[in-house]
Structure 1
Amino acid sequence: MAYLQANHLHRMPEALKNIIKAISLDASEPRYFSEAQLYMSYASLTPEQLSTFLAEYGEMGKDVTDIQLMRIKLNLYNGDYDTAIGLLEQLQYHIKEGATFNPHVYWVDAHLQKGRALMDRAEYAGAEQAFLRAMEFPVNLEAERDSKTGIAHYYLGLNSKLAGNEEAAKEHFKAMVEYAPASGWGAGDFPELGYFKALASLELGGDKTEAEKGFRELIAEGENRLGTVKDGRHITVSVEESHTARKFLLEHELGRKDRRVSSYYIQGLGCLGLGDRDKAREYFTKAMEIDPMSIDAKYMLESLS
């Protein structure tokens, strides 16, 4: 019933109500938690609503990967990076055929933001260790690629600069400028790398006109992402194999939603690079209106406050 309501009848509140009822009746079925996570993602539940769900049902689904990832993301959103890192270190993630999500992205987010917080407190040695750990690949996450790790080079450079180590700063900024995104499963799509490359180039005395060109290209890329695209075939990785062939209509919608969020996020970065803080704030706010759990947009908004 919940599946039909969510995918065909567009009655998401009723679908959520029914899938949560199913969980309360049989919490041993991982698929129910996976479907609940899918519906909540589409419905753009707030952090407070997710916290309420986890408080009531999180213990029942503590061994379900989708629930573990939800808890990790909520801790990231709330700025509890050490807890998120601890949960990631305990997570036993197994890549399945059709998987589209790489949990290593959360590993990078947790360590980058922990490092930024330490750097803001002038705890440069601790910040450096956090940024370096962002580029590690723990075996339990079963990930060998994640292009978002490249951003750590920029923050290592900034941290070294603030610590007074100009030579190390130059090396890290150079590594950021020269960073080539990985390819293959898990590499991800992170156009924001262009933003950090441009910032690193400016730190090295690079041409300002070229950097501004890069920022404008980000804005153009963001605008293009608002255009129409063909649906891809998405498969929820944590359901039983007998269900993996289902074509989830909601996941197609989630793909379009993700493109809208990334569109506004990278347009915001482009505007920020060009010095238009008000316009950047507007774009980051739009991203969070679409997805209240958009962590990258949240971090940037906080940096503008």
Structure 2
Amino acid sequence: MRSTAVLPLVLASGLAAADPPASDLDARAHLALGQSYSAQGRFPEAVEHLRKAVEMEPDAAQGHYLLGITYSLMKDTPRATAELERATRLAPGDAGFRYYLGLAYLAAERYPDAARELAESVRLDPGRADARQNLGWALMNLGKNGEAARVLLAALPRQPRNASTWFLLGESLRRLGDTERAIGYFEKAIELDPAHADALFSLGTVYALRQERDKAVSCFERLLAGDPRHAGAHYQLGKMLLREGKVSEAIGHLEKSVQAEPALKGAHYQLARAYRQSGQADKAQREAEIFRRLGSQESGGEGQGGGDTAAAWSDRGWTYARLGRYGKAVDAFRRARELRPDDAPTLRGLGATYGNLERWPEAVEALERAAALSPTDAGAQYDLGRAYAKQQRPREAAEAFERAIRLQDGLTAAHFNLGLARIDLGQRAEAVAAFRDTLRLDPDHAAARFNLALALFAGGDAPGAREQQKALEALDPNLARQLALRLDGGRR
């Protein structure tokens, strides 16, 4: 996913444009001219005057700040970072300085530093919604999706028309496994910005994984209408069409995918399959060779444009997992773990991917370590609870879900899964409470109403169960009919 969440760097407009400089300009005049030139996009002149300003007054934070912003606009991230760090040291209580330093760290992919500065900006100025949004993005890049969701929820009331905030909240929930709620946030982002590429791609990917073919195709086609070269959309459509036996159409999309992103290994693999099925043996052999060569480059890694760092391998793992390529995701996360054994986001990604492969003992081992390293990350506790539940360890699952809820009460999926664990433990009263908490957060949660009705009925509260059945009829008629059969037969 591209880092579209980062807001554009803009100059403050507190100073008016100055007259042409005279030979005896003081620091204030150089500062004004530098800001004016930067606002006009005349960056070399801006840098010249701003550097003179900070030479004259090296302890004036505003000069370093404006110079840092100008370097950011020039895409010179190292120099931008150095100047903004200087400004922040000189004026540590300025929320704006902290914010733009956080953005510079985001541009440099220094996510822990970015999260620290953006969190401080929010603390200094709680009404700053842009800082909350970018803090959410930084936390997501650290794998702290539970914390990110909480931050982004707080940002929404302050910028309810900002499509990227809705998208990021949906993406954080999707990474937590709460795809039902994620879909709603993606749809809201698209309602606000019908051409929002990231929201369309993520929503299409969710629908594809849920086997909702027509909805997935609609998302990818809408995305391509705005961005005809989007490699991911062509790749996803090509895979779907190939599975359906529409080989010629699949080839068209897969060829466009590798043209747009030649290093997209999976697209070369699928294209080789498609060529083979269409009888184009030479082309199939060529694509298979490219696929093997890319695989060799990935496993060698070193010297590939600086891509052999733990962070690079971890990021690659998340990308593969997002595309459903779980075997490659495991390989990437394991490589990242070799380079940095105790990186919590990497361990979370590895554990979640093992879960998608139904390799639950390995998932538990990775997720236990991730939760221990990041004890305040609600998402890590939730993932661990899911893994315990899959291993038929309901008591440990319940404890993990409770920890997640203490950290983030609004995590609906944790309340629901806590209810299921309580049922497995025979704790019906506690299960009822957990399902009611789920419905407090999401009144339209059909599965929670279904299980709440069964728990009430098993506890002797038939009227309460029937009340839930009636409410369920409006949400999911098929599930309501199944519930009626269970209640009429008196079975759990």
Which range, TM-score by smaller chain?
A: 0.5 to 0.7
Instruction: Report the alpha carbon displacement of residue 192 of structure 1 after superposing the two structures with TM.
Output: 1.8
Instruction: Report the alpha carbon displacement of residue 156 of structure 1 after superposing the two structures with TM.
Output: 2.5
Instruction: Report the alpha carbon displacement of residue 268 of structure 1 after superposing the two structures with TM.
Output: 5.0
CA gap of 1:177–1:303, structure 2 versus 1, over 3 A, is closer
Pick from 225, 233, 241: which aligns with 1:270?
A: 233
- 2:184 corresponds in structure 1 to 175
Matched to 1:206, the amino acid is E
Aligned pair 1:90/2:120, yes or no? no
CA gap of 1:199–1:91, structure 2 versus 1, over 3 A, is farther
- 1:50 corresponds in structure 2 to 80
CA distance in 2, matches of 1:93, 1:194: 31
Aligned pair 1:109/2:134, yes or no? no
CA distance in 2, matches of 1:138, 1:180: 14
Instruction: Report the alpha carbon displacement of residue 133 of structure 1 after superposing the two structures with TM.
Output: 1.3
Aligned pair 1:200/2:232, yes or no? no
2:154 is paired with a residue whose SS is coil
CA gap of 1:6–1:71, structure 2 versus 1, over 3 A, is closer
CA distance in 2, matches of 1:28, 1:192: 40
Instruction: Report the alpha carbon displacement of residue 181 of structure 1 after superposing the two structures with TM.
Output: 5.3
8 Å Cα contact 1:281/1:301 also seen in 2: no
Q: How many residues align?
A: 217
- 2:72 corresponds in structure 1 to 41
Identity of aligned residues (%): 12
Instruction: Report the alpha carbon displacement of residue 216 of structure 1 after superposing the two structures with TM.
Output: 3.8
Matched to 1:203, the amino acid is L
Instruction: Report the alpha carbon displacement of residue 271 of structure 1 after superposing the two structures with TM.
Output: 4.5
8 Å Cα contact 2:205/2:216 also seen in 1: yes
Unmatched runs of 5 consecutive residues or more in structure 2: 1-32, 239-253, 265-314, 321-331, 333-492
Aligned pair 1:15/2:46, yes or no? yes
TM-score normalised to structure 1 length: 0.53
8 Å Cα contact 2:153/2:169 also seen in 1: no
- 1:287 corresponds in structure 2 to none
Instruction: Report the alpha carbon displacement of residue 158 of structure 1 after superposing the two structures with TM.
Output: 4.4
CA gap of 1:93–1:112, structure 2 versus 1, over 3 A, is same
Unmatched runs of 5 consecutive residues or more in structure 1: 96-100, 119-126, 161-168, 224-263, 285-298
CA distance in 1, matches of 2:216, 2:120: 38
Matched to 1:110, the amino acid is A
CA distance in 2, matches of 1:300, 1:270: 18
Instruction: Report the alpha carbon displacement of residue 194 of structure 1 after superposing the two structures with TM.
Output: 1.1
CA distance in 2, matches of 1:84, 1:212: 40
8 Å Cα contact 1:218/1:270 also seen in 2: yes
CA distance in 1, matches of 2:317, 2:235: 11
CA distance in 1, matches of 2:259, 2:151: 30
1:63-102 matches, cutoff 5 A = 63-76=93-106, 77-80=109-112, 82-84=115-117, 86-92=119-125, 102=130
CA distance in 2, matches of 1:146, 1:29: 31
CA distance in 2, matches of 1:61, 1:20: 18
8 Å Cα contact 2:68/2:84 also seen in 1: no
CA gap of 1:269–1:18, structure 2 versus 1, over 3 A, is farther
Question: Which of structures 1 and 2 has the larger relative contact order (alpha carbons within 8 angstroms, sep 6+)?
Answer: 1
8 Å Cα contact 1:37/1:66 also seen in 2: no
Give the structure with the larger helix fraction.
Answer: 2
Instruction: Report the alpha carbon displacement of residue 155 of structure 1 after superposing the two structures with TM.
Output: 4.2
CA distance in 2, matches of 1:217, 1:170: 21
CA distance in 1, matches of 2:85, 2:203: 41
CA distance in 2, matches of 1:16, 1:66: 20
Instruction: Report the alpha carbon displacement of residue 59 of structure 1 after superposing the two structures with TM.
Output: 1.6
Query: Per-residue displacement from partner, 1:118-152 (whole Å, max 9, x unpaired)?
Result: 5xxxxxxxx4x23431432169x954554323343
1:146-295 matches, cutoff 5 A = 146-147=162-163, 148-160=165-177, 169=178, 171-176=180-185, 178-179=187-188, 190-207=196-213, 210-222=215-227, 267=230, 269-271=232-234, 273-274=236-237, 278=258, 281=261
8 Å Cα contact 2:68/2:80 also seen in 1: no
Instruction: Report the alpha carbon displacement of residue 198 of structure 1 after superposing the two structures with TM.
Output: 1.0
TM-score normalised to structure 2 length: 0.36
CA distance in 2, matches of 1:113, 1:154: 11
Instruction: Report the alpha carbon displacement of residue 50 of structure 1 after superposing the two structures with TM.
Output: 2.4
Query: Per-residue displacement from partner, 1:6-28 (whole Å, max 9, x unpaired)?
Result: 466x6523421321332453455
